[in-house]
Chains A and B, each alone.
Chain A
Amino acid sequence: MTNESFEEKIANAKSIMEKLMKQDISLEDSVKLYEDGIKNIQEASTILENAKAKIKIIEQSSIKDDA
């Protein structure tokens, strides 16, 4: 996975979608773009899941501290 942020990966995926919508794109290019787009979305999803897991850990530790 590259070091880009969640926002950058979503922006990449959006830009890829715009390119895919072009009428004159070849099938070969569209398949490559589609695969890149899916990769960006999957990586963004992983970043999101990791962030959710971190929040959960912080919440659990703060509950323990309050108890």
Chain B
Amino acid sequence: MSSPLVVAALQLQTLGFNPSRLEFYFKNAHARGAKIIVLGEYVLNHFFKELASMPKSMVKEQSDKHLKLLKSYAKEYDMTIIAPIVLLKKDGYIKTIAKISPVGVNYYEQQILIPYGHWDEQSFFTNTIETLKPPMIFSLDGFKIMVMAGYEMHFPPFWDYVRSKKIDLVILPTSSTFGSHNRWREIIKTQAFLYETYVLRVNRLGEYNDKDVKWRFYGDSMLVRPDGEVEMMLEDKESMLVEEIDKKVLKHHKKEWRFEQALNMRKELP
């Protein structure tokens, strides 16, 4: 059986043009044995409502500059980096999550975006609305890992994929704000338990002032175990979580509860 995998979550606010603090954390995570490090949504770029007030060339330059730096860190520290990033394409902005490894970069284009009046990513970004495609999945040191965009956590097809592909760790970068702490905690803990997987949720920090309303992104980044318990949670300050995930824990949970086994003995609902 594989050795435990050390994972890191970096809880930060938007970096703007200055990514200098990343080096400190990457070095530290590497020294603690982390093989994968995750950033929250809108850390490399400003919040999407702020992007509207910025020249497109400035947004592109920020993304390019940060990507270049992260590629160099992935090589230097032999780590896989998961980082949401906004790309500028011919038709407009695309909301993606980049997987930056020492050998290259892959992008997951978020499939379901927030469509609400006060928070309308669906209209702002040009991500296509089409039949759902498989999410980003990869293996690292014997662990199967799936990347899920924060809002996509609400949709069962992604979780069905977690079960069918026997995912060991779901990586969930988010930009949660207002008073949603408990809702997110409870959903993540429940899904981890039901779908027999670890979940690493990484939420951003910082504020966005929308006329009279202050949007405060509250952190609460956490690693949740397959038994639905929180292994470690950050509070609302800039900080980093470094923890192990273990195949033995996954195996024990699956053996104990046998959800997958019960389903496999029966046909699916018509």
Contacts and interface: CB of A to CB of B under 8 A. Distances in A.
Contacts of B53: 27-28, 31
Contacts of B20: 21
Interface in B48-69: 50, 53-55, 57-58
A28 B55 CA distance: 11
B54 A25 contact: no
B55 A34 contact: yes
A20 B17 contact: yes
A23 B50 CA distance: 17
Contacts of B18: 20-23
B17 A21 contact: yes
A35 interface: yes
Nearest to B13: A23
* Most chain B CB atoms below 10 A, which of A20, A22, A34: A34
A34 B58 contact: yes
Contact of B16 (A28, A30, A35): A30
B46 interface: yes
Contacts of B50: 27
Contact of B55 (A22, A25, A31): A31
Interface in B1-59: 16-18, 20, 46, 50, 53-55, 57-58
B57 A27 contact: no
A38 interface: yes
24 contacts: A20-B16, A20-B17, A20-B18, A21-B17, A21-B18, A21-B20, A23-B16, A25-B16, A27-B46, A27-B53, A27-B54, A28-B53, A30-B16, A30-B17, A31-B53, A31-B54, A31-B55, A31-B58, A34-B54, A34-B55, A34-B58, A35-B55, A38-B55, A38-B57
Interface of B: 16-18, 20, 46, 50, 53-55, 57-58
Given A20-B17, A21-B20, A38-B57, 20 more contacts: A20-B16, A20-B18, A21-B17, A22-B18, A23-B16, A23-B18, A25-B16, A27-B46, A27-B50, A27-B53, A27-B54, A28-B53, A30-B16, A30-B17, A31-B53, A31-B55, A31-B58, A34-B54, A35-B55, A38-B55
